[in-house]
């Protein structure tokens, strides 16, 4: 078969050359004195031989039903939706540039001084003219109104959308922050995935730290699973990671080696001692890590691990303004989990061998306490820091 045509009153109104030949056409040119509409199909083969279907006869009636807006949609894009689509009840046409987008602005109210006019630079008819797709600037999270000028949009018969101003609204939600995680010496591990999801964030598994683009994530989480030194791919990225944190990045480190990982985040003055322990205790109570939205870390529920911590930082060596959350053993000068600002960035560091428990190799109690309470609390805290 070469093509299939639809004829209305003996005029070709649609023609398809590809399977499955779903044809549609507008019954335009309605004449109230002669409302009869005869429809037939013509099929032509590749040799040029054609045949007609039966003729179907209908009595046409004028379209007096005004079009309506059935929905307004935006694609879910992390960087802020573009291309607002206005979906209509039927095919429409418009003249000029009748579409505008108004943002409610910081006060979340329309009609106030901080309202924002979003640039609309184009409007295209899609899906047999049932959709108008706007070309607009990216929409930051917030509330918006889509405004259509009066009478500027009509159906094909010329019935206007509305005699007044049409407005429809949409809300653009904040995309959840993304957390890139890398388990040094065991980069295949997906152990951090579940706690990150539980905390409401988007996990990004970093397999290869050597080429990873840090600008694509909000928080970098590094678990050192080696008891010795950093692997060379991570070592080679130290300057990049340090620069990223210094310029506003947030990093969460859990370090089995308790050696030089802290150097990647402005910790060169910190005095570390590597010593395996099984007794963690709360340093300052309450704090957002130990009494967070996912439950409480207590003086006992992280104890008894093999090990619970791999040592400590000397409290007096921590950068000015640090906060200590957990101590190793009962000596208050032995910080096992702490945070500090580094330039415009933020650092959370702990000597807990977290990778082991996120890979569910410890007891169920410890795996749960670290994966379902402690780490989600840490991530919420760091995200809000």
Q: What is the phi/psi pair of residue 253, to 5°?
A: -120, 130
Query: Are 192 and 358 in contact, with CB atoms under 8 Å apart?
Result: yes
Mapping DSSP to helix (H, G, I), strand (E, B) and coil, where does residue 357 land? helix
Shortest Cβ 281–Ca ion spacing (Å): 4
Show the binding pattern over residues 87-126: x = contacts Ca ion (CB under 5 A), - = does not. -----------------xx-x-x--x-xx-----------
Q: Which of 225, 259, 281, 323 binds Ca ion (CB under 5 A)?
A: 281
Please identify, among the stretches 64-72, 136-144, 214-222, 225-233, the one whose residues bind Ca ion according to the rule CB under 5 A: 64-72
Write the CB contacts of 326 (distance below 8 Å, at least 6 apart in sequence).
280, 281, 282, 283, 289, 290, 297, 302, 309, 335, 336, 337, 350, 352
Please identify, among the stretches 14-22, 26-34, 292-300, 347-355, the one whose residues bind Ca ion according to the rule CB under 5 A: 292-300
State the pairing for strand pair 50-52/11-16: unpaired
Neighbours of 292 (CB within 10 A): 20
Shortest Cβ 156–Ca ion spacing (Å): 7
- As a whole number of angstroms, the distance between CA 22 and CA 326 comes to 67
**Per residue in 33-62, is it b (16+ CB within 10 Å) or e — as a string?**
eeeebebbbeebeeeeeeeeeeeeeeebee
Residue placing its CB nearer to Ca ion in the complex, 28 or 65: 65
Q: Which of 303, 319, 329, 368 binds Ca ion (CB under 5 A)?
A: 303
- As a whole number of angstroms, the distance between CA 73 and CA 60 comes to 34
Residue placing its CB nearer to Ca ion in the complex, 238 or 368: 368
Residue placing its CB nearer to Ca ion in the complex, 253 or 280: 280
Q: Which of 129, 299, 317, 322 binds Ca ion (CB under 5 A)?
A: 299
Q: Which of 86, 131, 133, 155 binds Ca ion (CB under 5 A)?
A: 155
- As a whole number of angstroms, the distance between CA 238 and CA 242 comes to 6
For the record, the structure tokens of 288 come out as 């957002």
Residue placing its CB nearer to Ca ion in the complex, 21 or 110: 110
Shortest Cβ 318–Ca ion spacing (Å): 21
For the record, the structure tokens of 280 come out as 């963690």
In the DSSP assignment, the letter for residue 201 is: -
Shortest Cβ 271–Ca ion spacing (Å): 23
Please identify, among the stretches 243-251, 274-282, 322-330, 373-381, the one whose residues bind Ca ion according to the rule CB under 5 A: 274-282
Shortest Cβ 157–Ca ion spacing (Å): 6
Please identify, among the stretches 55-63, 200-208, 219-227, 347-355, the one whose residues bind Ca ion according to the rule CB under 5 A: 55-63
Write the CB contacts of 305 (distance below 8 Å, at least 6 apart in sequence).
278, 353, 357, 362, 363, 366
Instruction: Name the residue among 326, 375, 371, 372 with its Cα closest to residue 351.
Output: 326
Neighbours of 18 (CB within 10 A): 9
Cα–chain center distance at 256: 32
Q: Residue 367, interface with Ca ion (CB under 5 A)? A: no
Beta bridge partners of 36: 59
Residue placing its CB nearer to Ca ion in the complex, 152 or 197: 152
Please identify, among the stretches 78-86, 138-146, 171-179, 301-309, the one whose residues bind Ca ion according to the rule CB under 5 A: 301-309
Q: Which of 3, 60, 63, 263 binds Ca ion (CB under 5 A)?
A: 63
Shortest Cβ 228–Ca ion spacing (Å): 27
Residue placing its CB nearer to Ca ion in the complex, 115 or 238: 115
Write out the residues near Ca ion by the rule CB under 5 A.
63, 65, 104-105, 107, 109, 112, 114-115, 155, 279, 281, 299, 303
């Amino acid at each position: 078969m070469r093509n299939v045509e639809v004829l209305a009153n003996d005029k070709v109104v649609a023609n398809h050359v590809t399977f499955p030949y779903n044809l549609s056409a507008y019954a335009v040119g309605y004449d109230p004195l002669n409302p009869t509409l005869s429809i037939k199909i013509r099929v032509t083969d590749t040799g040029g031989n054609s045949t007609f279907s039966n003729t179907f006869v209908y009595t046409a009636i004028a379209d007096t039903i005004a079009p309506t807006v059935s929905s307004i949609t935006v694609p879910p894009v992390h960087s802020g939706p573009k291309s607002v689509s206005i979906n209509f009840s039927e095919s429409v046409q418009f003249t000029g540039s009748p579409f505008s987008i108004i943002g409610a602005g910081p006060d979340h109210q329309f009609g106030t001084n901080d309202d924002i006019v979003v640039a609309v630079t184009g409007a295209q008819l899609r899906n047999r003219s049932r959709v108008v797709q706007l070309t607009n600037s990216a929409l930051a999270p917030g509330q918006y109104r889509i405004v259509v000028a009066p009478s500027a949009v009509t159906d094909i018969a010329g019935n206007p959308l509305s005699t007044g101003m049409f407005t429809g609204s949409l809300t653009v939600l904040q995309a959840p922050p993304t957390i890139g995680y890398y388990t040094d010496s065991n980069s295949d591990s997906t152990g951090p995935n579940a706690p990150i999801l539980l905390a409401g964030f988007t996990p990004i598994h970093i397999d290869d730290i050597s080429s990873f683009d840090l600008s694509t994530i909000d928080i970098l989480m590094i678990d050192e699973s080696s008891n010795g030194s950093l692997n060379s791919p991570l070592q080679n990225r130290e300057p990049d990671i340090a620069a990223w944190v210094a310029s506003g990045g947030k990093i969460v480190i859990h370090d089995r080696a308790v050696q030089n990982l802290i150097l990647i985040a402005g910790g060169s003055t910190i005095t570390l001692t590597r010593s395996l322990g099984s007794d963690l205790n709360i340093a300052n109570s309450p704090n957002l890590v130990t009494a967070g939205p996912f439950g409480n870390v207590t003086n006992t529920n992280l104890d008894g691990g093999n090990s619970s911590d791999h040592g400590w930082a000397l409290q007096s060596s921590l950068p000015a303004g640090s906060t200590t959350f957990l101590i190793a053993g009962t000596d208050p000068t032995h910080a096992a989990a702490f945070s500090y600002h580094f330039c415009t960035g933020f650092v959370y560091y702990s000597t807990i061998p977290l990778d082991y428990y996120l890979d569910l190799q410890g007891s169920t109690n410890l795996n749960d306490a670290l994966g379902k309470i402690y780490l989600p609390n840490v991530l919420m805290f760091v995200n809000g820091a």
